[in-house]
Each structure stands twice: as C-alpha cells, then as structure tokens.
Structure 1
Amino acid sequence: MYRDHTCGALRSNDIGKQVTLSGWVHKTRDKGFVVWADLRDRYGIVQLVFDAERTDASLLEKARHLGREYVVRAKGEVIERASKNPQMPTGDIEVLVRELEVLNTSKTPPFTIADDTDGGEDLRMKYRYLDIRRNVVKDNLIFRSKVAIEVRKYLSEEGFIEVETPYLIKSTPEGARDFVVPSRMNPGQFYALPQSPQTFKQLLMVGGLDKYFQIVKCFRDEDLRADRQPEFTQIDCEMAFVEQEDILSTFEGLTRHLLQEIKGVTVDAFPRMTYDEAMAKYGNDKPDIRFGMEFGHLNEVAQHKDFQVFNAAELVVGIAVPGGASYTRKELDKLIDWVKRPQVGAKGMVYVKCNPDGSFKSSVDKFYDQEDLAQWAQITGARAGDIVFVLSGERNATRSQLSALRMEMAQRLGLRKADEFAPLWVVDFPLLELDGETGHYHAMHHPFTAPKPGQLELLETDPAAVRANAYDLVLNGNEIGGGSIRIHDRETQATMFRHLGFTPEEAKAQFGFLMDAFQYGAPPHGGIAFGLDRLVAILGGQETIRDFIAFPKNNSGRDVMIDAPAPIDAEQLKELQLKLDR
C-alpha cells in the first residue's frame, strides 16, 4: 500500500494513528538533531519529523539526503505538533516517521514549486508538468473539472444526450482557417479538424435525438491572444422542436446552476438587448454591464459650432467617468496618448470637467460655451466631480475606440469586480455582414442561421436589414456562448447559400449532405455553444484562459514542452505523397 491517507487529510483527531503517506518532498529543514520534511500531494501538505531521540540513526541520515521533489513513502505515527502552524490545515499535527522509502529521486526543478514561484511564464510552459504541481495551476484544473461535472449534471437532468461527433471531417470555406490532416489512404486528399460540430449536431436533430450535448475539442488556425487557443473546448448543444425562447430559458438555467453551484451566487435577471442597442450604448456586441458609463450621442449638440473635427465626423460620442474631474493635466495627457495608441486608433480626445461648483472646463472652451457643455454632461449622465471623454470620427471605428476606453477606465476605477457576475443576452444580430474589400456578404454567425421570422424576403431587396434569429450570452463583458435557430429546409438553405455567393454546384459539393438530409423530415431546431475555457476562467475570476488548460499553447501556437508543431521525416512525407519546398 502506497498510502492510506492523503497529505492534506490528517487533523488533531488523528493523533495516535499509524498512517502511510506518499507524495513529493516540498522542502526539508535540518537542525542536526532533528529533520523536518514537508510532504505534498494534490490534497495538501503535512510535516514529517525525524529526531535523534525517537528515530533510528540510519533513518535520520536517510532523511538528511532527501531532495526537493523526491517521491517518497513514509510510515509513522500522527503526533501533536509542538509548534503549531495555524496557516496550514494540518498545522496541529505532524507524523513521526518509522519507515521511509524513496520511490524516485528528482533533479532540482528549474523553478520553485510554490504559489509565488520564481519561474517566468516561458520556463513554466516548458516544464508544465512541474507547473501543475503548484497550487495555483492545480486548483484551476480542479475547478475546471468541477464546472464540467456540473454542466453534465444539469444537461443530463434536462434530458440531453451526450454524443461524440467526428474529429476528421471535411474542410469548408466558412469561418476561420482549418487545420488540415493529410490522408495516407487517399493520396492528395485531406481531412479538416472541426471548428465546431455544427453540421453533425444538426444531423443528429434530423436523426431524432432532440436534445444533444457534447463537451468537445474544436480547432481554428487563427491568430492567438490571451483568451484564444488553436484548440479549445466547447459545451456544444442542440435542441429540436424549439424556438428562441426555449433555448434562452434552458441555458439561462444552466448558467444559473453553474453560478449557484460553483460560486454560490444567485442571479435572477438575464437582461436582453438587441445588437443595435448594444452597439449604440456600449460600442460592442458583448458589453460589460457591471458598471455604467453608457455612451451619450452628441452629434446634435456638438456639430453646430466651428469645431471642424466634430462637424466632419459621422459620430460624436462620449462617456462620463466618475470622479474624473480631479484628473491633472498630466494624467489627461497620458489618457489621450492611450487612446492614440495603434491598438485603439483614435486621433485625439476631447474632455469636459464637471466641476464641483457646477461649472465646466473643457479642452474645447474656445468653441463651446457653458450651456453647450451642460448639454453634453446631461446627455452622458455626468454629475459634478465627473469628467466627460468625447471621441469622434467614422461610426464603427469611433464606437470601438470609446468601448476600449470605457473598459480601460472601468479597470482603473476597480469597477470590473471578479466576484460580481452580470449576464446578458444580446439578440437580433444582422444576418449578413458586408465585406468592405470584396463587396460580398458573409454570414455574421454561420450560413446555417435562420433569419428572423418574416424577414426571408428582405434578402432579395435589402440584405443588410435582415436580422438573424441568433443570440449571444455575455458574462462580464465576455461572450461565453452563442447560437441560433437553424434553417431546417432545403429551399431556404439554398437561398442563403446563393446570397453568400455559392453557386449551386459549390453548395452541393460543400454541404450537399446536409441539404439532402433536410429532405427527410428535418425538424425545426436550434442550439448554442459555450466556450468552456473562457467560461471557467471568468467563473474563476480571471480573463486569461491559459492557466485553466492543462497543456496550453503559447501566443505563437506552439507547445514549447513537447516542441510542437515539428517537421516530419522524409519517409512520412513519402507515405503521404507530400512534397515540401525547402
């Protein structure tokens, strides 16, 4: 027996017990006549003690040669600790060791296995298996497991069936770039790794499995950032014989369940907001509603004077920042430099201080009087002591810039609280987006999304006006889930493909299997997919997903631990009938 107790389990009521423990040597302290060793496993740390009075001399000498991260088995008696440690759950006891076996030695780790490690991110990524021994990462992975278990529990109780769908599928031209896999048995042909199980879950609805879910790996060959990986995990769901309201109700239930079971938080209201309203009020389609600073539209009150910057702008818009009237000129100059960074892209920023005495001081006093500035304050909701920041320019770009500034100011003011959760449904997205470079429309979600009821005919006359029967679930300014009611008949799907620029031949070659299936009694259906990595990170109080993934890639899409991707040898290339230009 390697152990009959874990290292974090022993307490004062275990005093007198004979126990067997196994784990890693966290650290040792040698005082000559006594050696202490902290033994660690994933459950906690317990102190082992070897002393000259009660320990065999050879065993004491063996203890002196224990190194950090040695794997050992220890047998002994639980005794009361003379110098208790209230910071440790096991701090009232220690184990007087009678037998010690070194199960494996260890090289000195390249960084300290501790919460506050001395290892940089690159080093810890290279030795991720050591990083996982740290409580910070270990607890995140345990937390992720708990979330996944609760997801399965809720969906199973709601009658959903878990079904695995293929990983080797057909490449399609929609969405991000595919990862492709050459087929040795079909030379010159390739599988693609799925960006989502979209068409398969729709086929399951045709097959009569009216409630499907899967916690599934998906793959996208696209540029990376802190909350994006080339392989990621979705909670993928689909339901038949449903309308949008049925899906929103079901997955509000899932979200409430997770918040209650994982965080002990009760959330009653899931506000709903149209896409157009979200863009107008917050400048993006995944607004963080934990705080205010809604956009105030100033065109009507700012374009009647001689300030040509505003007069030439498509949009003049501002936000009121609480307490900002106290900002110094130096602080304001730094904020102006912040919005002018390439990552934000504004050309400048106008500000209006709302002084405590009711007067206003702005960077454009030359052009606007106190009455004008009072209107700006009223429209943005600014109060005495606040400051109004105003940006202008092309509509979409200006919205994006002010949205970035809003989030930055909320972060600086401590308004983005990790322990506060504000879910929101964003609905009625545009069905199509116009590509400015090609002049062609493409699907905002995917080509299987149904238009809102009664709007199909608009595709012929005003495609940009058609709203999608689609919805996103936003939590704390992050999209955690998105889905739609699907097209379920062949004719409507063919019409959609035509408006997306597919010829009938191209549509049949790419999606003929799905359109054929629609001829065999496809039910009305719809679904949603949650990003598990992002959801877990947000529930865990963070926005970076990497620490909640056991073996993540870096920002270049590389696994530095196993050194992948990597070249393959000439024999493999020959078998696959591939030739690389060197």
Structure 2
Amino acid sequence: MRSHYCGHLTQENIDQEVILSGWVHRRRDHGGVIFVDLRDREGISQIVFDPDIPEMFMLAEKLRNEFVIQVKGKVRQRPEGTENPEMPTGQVEVLGLELTVLNASETPPFQLDDDDVSEEHRLRYRYIDLRRPEMQNRLRLRSQIIRMLRNYLDDNGFLDIETPILTKATPEGARDYLVPSRTHQGEFFALPQSPQLFKQLLMMSGMDRYYQVVRCFRDEDLRADRQPEFTQLDIETSFMEEEQLMMMMEDMMRSVFAKVLEQQLPNPFPRMTYAEAMNRYGSDKPDLRIDLELVEVADVLTDVDFKVFSGPAKDPNSRVTALRIPNGSSLTRKQIDGYTKYVSIYGARGLAYIKVNDKAAGREGLQSPIVKFIPDDALATILERTSAEDGDLIFFGADKTKVVNEALGALRVKVAQDLDLVKHGWQPLWVVDFPMFEYDEGAKRWTALHHPFTAPSSDNPQDLLDNPGSSLSRAYDMVLNGTELGGGSARIHKQDMQTSVFKLLGIDDEEAQDKFGFLLDALKYGCPPHAGIAFGMDRLVMLMTGSSSIREVMAFPKTQSAACLLTSAPSSVSQAQLKELGIKKREVLAEKLADS
C-alpha cells in the first residue's frame, strides 16, 4: 500500500510517482490549495492538493487530524522560500493525484503535540500516545539497542535459549506472581522473577554460553525504574572467571554506546568496593558525575554536649557524616526545611547544618543552631576534612549506619540535581566485593544480599558458617550514572557450599529439597564453575534516551499501582473460570465490614 515511507523522500525522488500511506498530522487550507502533513513511523511529508481534480479536492477538504489515508502523487521541489530545513523531507513535497481515505478518525482524546497531557491520560490511550514522534523514537532506539546486544553476543559464541515462563515458586527476594493450575487444582505455577536457576541448569547441561532477552515478573512496590513485568538481558557462562566476564560485558557496553549513540565509554571501567561506595556516597550505585562525598566525622564528635551527634558517634552500628555543598550557604531556611522533610522519608529524624560564611573568622564565621555545642578544635577539623570554603554549607547525618547511608546518599543526589551540580556525560562503574549476607534485625536472621546462589569469596563452607557477617561474595554490579544497569556473580557450583548457604539463610533440608531439590540434584552430576549477569533493558534504554522513567521506554507499561489503564487489568473473571480452577472467591468487602 506504499512505495516509500513518508520520512524517506528527498530531492533524489523529484519527478518520481510515489504512493504514501499514513496519518494526517495536520491539514491547512491556504485559499484554494490544501496542504496535508502526512505522518508515518519514519517521518512527515507535505502533500499538496490542487483544485484541478474537484472530486479529490473535495475529499481533501474533509480530512481531519489522524485520518488514515493513502496518497498517490508526484514528488517535486518546494517553491523557493517555502523549504523547511528543520524537516528531513523539507526540500520536497508531493503533488497529490489520487486520495483514498482508508479510515476516518474521531477527534483524538489529546493532540500529539500537547506536552501537558497527564500520564494517566497517556496510558489510558496508549495507542494514541505511541504515535508521538518522541515515543516512536524511543522504541526504535530500544529495538536498535537490543539488536546490537544480540549481535555482540551471537558473535561471541553465545546461544539464545528460552526458559520456562510457568515455573515453580522459589524464594528470590520479591513476591511471586502465582498462576493457578486447572489440571492440578489447588497447586500453582509462578511467573519467573528471573531465569536464574534455569540458566545455571543450562551451564550444567554443557551449553557453555547462554543469553536471553526475557520477560521477568516481580510483585513489588513500584517506582520510576520498576515495573511488575520488565525485560532483562540474561547471560551465563561456563569455565569463565568473573574477571573475564566483566571485561567482556564492558566491551559489549562500549560497543553498543559507540554504535547507537556514537559515545565512547572509558576503557576499562573504574572499580570500587561496596564498602568504599557506601562510605563515600552512601549508596552501592553511586553517580560519579556528582563530586559531593560523605565525610566521616564521628571521631571528633564523641564527647560533644550534643547527644544527637555524640550518641551515634559512640555506637559502632552508627555513623556521623558531613556532606559539603559548594555555595550552599545561599540555601534559604525554607529550602533546608524541605531537605529535612525529604531525608525523613529514609528514617532520618532531622538534618543538622552549618553555613560557612567566613571560614577565617572561625566560630564567628559559622551560622548554625548547633555550632554552640561543638568545640573549636572539632569545628576546625570538620572544616578541614570537608574542604569547606566561604559560601559553602555542610549537612550532617547522625544515626544508624543504614539510615545515614540512605538519607545522606539520597540527599547528595537531590541537592546536586537541584543546584545543577551534576556533570554531563557517562560515568560507568563496577561495584565489587559485596557482603555475602546482611542481618535482618526484624526477622532475626541472615538474608542473601544478592540471591542464595551467589558464590562466596571463600571456598570453605565452614568459613562461611563461622563468619557470615564478614564473608564477601563474588558478586559485581555494573552502574551507570547512578543507576544499576546489571548485577551478576560467580555461582555456587558445589553441593556442600549450596547446602551451607541454605542453612545460614534458615532454609532447612526439607525446605531446600522442596524448593530447590532439582538444583541440588543437578549439582551432584558434574557442575562446571560458572558465572553470569543480568542487565535491566528498560533501565538501559531509559538512560540512553534521556527518559525520566522506564514507563517512557516500554510500549504498554503499568501504573505505579501495577494496573493497566488501557485494558483495565487486573480485572474480575467469571465464576465459571474460577470453578474450572477450583478457586472460590472470598467476599472481601463483606469480611472487612464484619471485622469492623
């Protein structure tokens, strides 16, 4: 139904007869001549309808935005002075000779060039929203990125292998989405949070190098870079140390950025231990475009008459840090109160600060309600360690280590964004040497920082059992501009080590056999050393397109409440369907009323 895409016409096509099909982007009546901007996926061409063909001209007069039409016509040079250098097709136009209306359109719920449409409205009419050039460009770039990644892996001997979508529910950190079985009533499949166990089994099967662009599902609270279903580039290799895998993944990312964005990423990527990242930035995915760092000052505040500082300074499970904001003394009290409210989201009970008005004047040159509680020598040390200068502001965090890291780490990023302190460019990073476990104070047990199949740095299971709190893992995360692009690790490939990890996590032999029996059995039959990584494709495309959220780079995303406004999912199903599955629906509303 077309000979050319609208966006492909150039001066080389002058005098050619063409057939174009697409949507009416705009119609203009210029006193006897009708101009139509015809749009398709590749761009826009200007069509001119003269009144020489009355029947066609009358039809063109009836065209409205978003009508789907086919035009046969002749390409010609635009008259001098009417060229549009902003458009790839701006040197030419098509003289319409035949016009067919393939489908009329009602007035759309919003105009494609309207930037003030709410996201809720856009998601409800996503098929309209996706017609916008910026959305089509994002999805086109997404397709290009995935194609380049596939090409790289294919060229390096990886096999594209699919794994099951209906699988067994296993504890991997988030809630599973469950699927009831009709043929095994009362039992459930789970949608995979990742293909983790299957890709390890593929290594045990001798596949050697595997990859898959795969959909994953997690029933968790959402935010800008999370969705209940998302796309992952999943990778696993046998007989490859993590160092080799990391180098290959670096090369893959450099290749994609060079080919898609014509941007050069550093070679090699810098590396940082988890401990250093948390100490300096309060985050295991620090944005290195921001020069602001947390500075430890607990040692100079242990004896001050200010318990907000001295208490955490004496507590080995707490920390007291300072965060210098260049030229931050210009912040108003209202702005500081806003930042205080912001850090409260992360559990911080306040946000102390000092404004450095005149460093040379000592105490007299500092402005803050807390200065009176801090001795001169301590103030001097804080100013020296933070490299504070006149006009700067110093924020303080004093609390449990987790609270300080989360609150000051988030504040560091927010202040940098608000004050335009974020450098331009790309700053990749490997974060390594993660703790193997973290202790859950509420549940009073150890949990895996990554997942329970991550290999520890020690090969001795007894070392792990004796020292879980100090054990490091062979895990690694690739971070880009403060976003975790991918995470991976060397895997446990011996049954005794896997059993020890399960034991530490409170998974007894019976539960281990029930949940992971197939994996434990496979480890008995010649499991090779193997390692892998998984990249969040939605996050990668979000960064590479400069989008604010992964919803902007997914064709049909869910809302933050995990609902689809387009299809009204999730929704009720019929009693007949439930009966087939052996499920009886509870009357939730009636139960709530009875409980009240």
Tell me whether 399-408 or 260-269 shows the greater mean CA deviation.
Answer: 260-269
Please tell me whether residue 410 in structure 1 is matched to residue 416 in structure 2: yes
Q: What letter matches 2:336 in structure 1?
A: L
After TM superposition, the score normalised by the length of structure 1 is 0.95
1:171 and 1:574 map into 2 onto residues whose CA distance is 23
Is the counterpart of residue 12 in structure 1 residue 11 in structure 2? yes
In the alignment, what sits opposite 2:35? Answer: 36
Residues 264-286 of structure 1: per-residue CA shift (max 9 Å, x gap): 22222411111111111111111
Q: Distance in 2 between matches of 1:330 and 1:453?
A: 51
- Residue in 1 that maps onto 2:479: 474
Counterparts of 2:201 and 2:338, CA distance in 1: 55
Question: CA, structure 1 residues 410+212, in 2 after alignment: closer, same or farther (shift >3 Å)?
Answer: same
Q: How does 1:231-380 map to 2 (within 5 A)?
A: 231-266=229-264, 267-313=266-312, 314-339=318-343, 342-355=344-357, 358-359=360-361, 360-363=365-368, 364-368=370-374, 370-380=376-386
Encode CA deviations 1:379-407: one digit per residue, 9 max, x unaligned.
12323332211121222111211111101
| Amino acid in structure 2 at the alignment position of 1:367 | F
- 1:350-379 residue CA offsets vs partner (Å, 9 max, x unmatched): 222333663441312312355432311221
Q: 2:585, 2:137 → 1: CA distance?
A: 44
Q: How does 1:91-110 map to 2 (within 5 A)?
A: 91-110=90-109
**Are positions 1:70 and 2:67 aligned together?**
yes
1:175–1:332 distance in 2 versus 1, CA, 3 Å:
closer
Which of 52, 57, 78 is the matching residue for 2:54? 57
Counterpart contact for 1:455–1:467, Cα < 8 Å: no
Native 8 Å contact 2:461 2:496 kept in 1: no
State the distance in 2 between where 1:169 and 1:513 align: 12
Structure 1 equivalent of residue 111 of structure 2: 112
Distance 2:319 2:438 in 1: 20
Which secondary structure state, in structure 1, belongs to the residue aligned with residue 533 of structure 2?
Answer: strand
Q: Is the 8 A contact 2:8 2:89 kept in 1?
A: yes
- Residue identity in the other structure for 1:348: G
Residues 246 and 405 (structure 1), Cα distance of their counterparts in 2 relative to 1, 3 Å cut: same
Q: Distance in 1 between matches of 2:146 and 2:34?
A: 42
- How many angstroms apart in 2 are the aligned matches of 1:329 and 1:183? 59
CA gap 1:415/1:19 in 2 versus in 1, 3 angstroms: same
What is the alpha-carbon distance in structure 2 between the residues aligned to residue 228 and residue 220 of structure 1?
9
Between Structure 1 and Structure 2, which shows a larger proportion of helix residues? Answer: 2
Secondary structure in 1 matching 2:233: strand
Separation of aligned partners in 2, 1:169 and 1:137:
34
Task: Measure the CA separation in 1 of the matches of 2:371 and 2:442.
Answer: 40
Greater Cα offset, 264-273 or 33-42: 264-273
Q: SS at 2:221's partner residue?
A: coil
Q: Which of 204, 217, 220 lines up with 1:219 in the alignment?
A: 217
Q: How does 1:532-551 map to 2 (within 5 A)?
A: 532-551=537-556
Structure 2: distance between partners of 1:334 and 1:569: 49
3-state SS in 2 of match to 1:13:
helix
Distance 1:516 1:12 in 2: 67
Q: 1:338 Cα deviation (Å)?
A: 3.7
More displaced, 497-506 or 58-67?
Answer: 497-506
Q: Which moved more, 1:266-275 or 1:16-25?
A: 266-275
Stretch moving more, 6-15 or 272-281:
6-15
Structure 1 stretches of 5 or more lacking a match? none
- Preserved CA contact (<8 Å) 1:429 1:468: yes
Q: Give the partner amino acid of 1:62.
A: L
- The one-letter code sitting in structure 2 at the alignment partner of 1:478 is T
> What amino acid is aligned across from residue 385 of structure 2 in structure 1?
I
Matched to 1:415, the amino acid is L
C-alpha distance in 2, partners of 1:192/1:332? 46
Q: Is the 8 A contact 2:290 2:413 kept in 1?
A: no
Q: Residue deviations 1:230-256, cap 9 Å, x none?
A: 001110000111222112111111121
* % identical aligned pairs: 46
Q: Is the 8 A contact 2:354 2:371 kept in 1?
A: no
Q: Following superposition of structure 1 onto structure 2, how do residues 456-475 of structure 1 map, counting pairs within 5 Å?
A: 456-475=461-480
| Structure-2 separation of matches of 1:309 and 1:503 | 42
Bigger drift between 442-451 and 318-327 goes to: 318-327
Aligned length: 575
Query: Alpha carbons of 1:551 and 1:337: their partners in 2 closer, same or farther (altered >3 Å)?
Result: closer
Native 8 Å contact 1:449 1:484 kept in 2? yes
Q: In structure 2, how many angstroms separate the alpha carbons of the residues matched to 1:175 and 1:332?
A: 36
Unaligned runs of 5+ in 2: 313-317, 588-596
Moved more, 245-254 or 361-370: 361-370
Most deviating of 130-139 and 298-307: 298-307
Per-residue deviation, 1:92: 1.8
Question: Which residue of structure 2 aligns with residue 400 of structure 1?
Answer: 406
The residue matched to 1:358 in structure 2 has which SS?
helix
1:427 matched to 2:432? The reply is: yes
- What whole-Å deviation, never above 9, does each CA across 1:47-83 have from its counterpart, x for those lacking one? 111123xx31111111000121111111111122232
Cα deviation code 1:476-534 (max 9, x no counterpart): 11111001111111111111111111221211111111111111111000100001101
Residue in 2 aligned with 1:189? 187
**Cα distance, 1:303 vs structure 2:** 2.8
Structure 1: distance between partners of 2:28 and 2:69: 16
Larger deviation, residues 258-267 vs 100-109: 258-267
**Aligned-partner residue type, residue 286 of structure 2:** P
Change (3 A) 1:105 1:118: farther
Partner amino acid, structure 2, of 1:355: N
Paired letter, 2:331: Y
2:94 partner amino acid: V
CA contact under 8 A between 2:238 and 2:530: conserved in structure 1?
yes
Q: Distance in 1 between matches of 2:333 and 2:172?
A: 49
For the Cα contact (< 8 Å) 1:456–1:466, is it kept in 2?
no
User: 4+ residue runs of structure 1 moved beyond 4 angstroms?
Assistant: none
Aligned to 2:315: none
Give a deviation string over 1:205-233, Cα, whole Å, max 9, x none: 01111110000000001111111100011
Q: Distance in 1 between matches of 2:109 and 2:3?
A: 31
User: Quick one: structure 1 residues 269 and 326, their matched pair in 2 at CA, closer, same or farther if it must change by over 3 Å?
Assistant: farther
Which range is displaced more, 32-41 or 8-17? 8-17
Write the distance in 1 (CA, Å) between the matches of 2:580 and 2:341.
56
Indicate if the aligned counterparts of 1:350 and 1:362 stay in contact, CA closer than 8 A.
no
State which of 123, 126, 137 in structure 1 corresponds to 2:124. Answer: 126
Judged with a 3 Å threshold, the aligned counterparts in structure 2 of structure 1 residues 333 and 437 are, in CA distance, closer, same or farther, namely: closer
Is the CA contact 2:172–2:193 (under 8 Å) kept in the aligned structure 1?
no
Q: CA RMSD in A?
A: 1.6
State the SS of the aligned residue for 2:360: coil
CA contact (8 A) 1:449 1:470 kept: yes
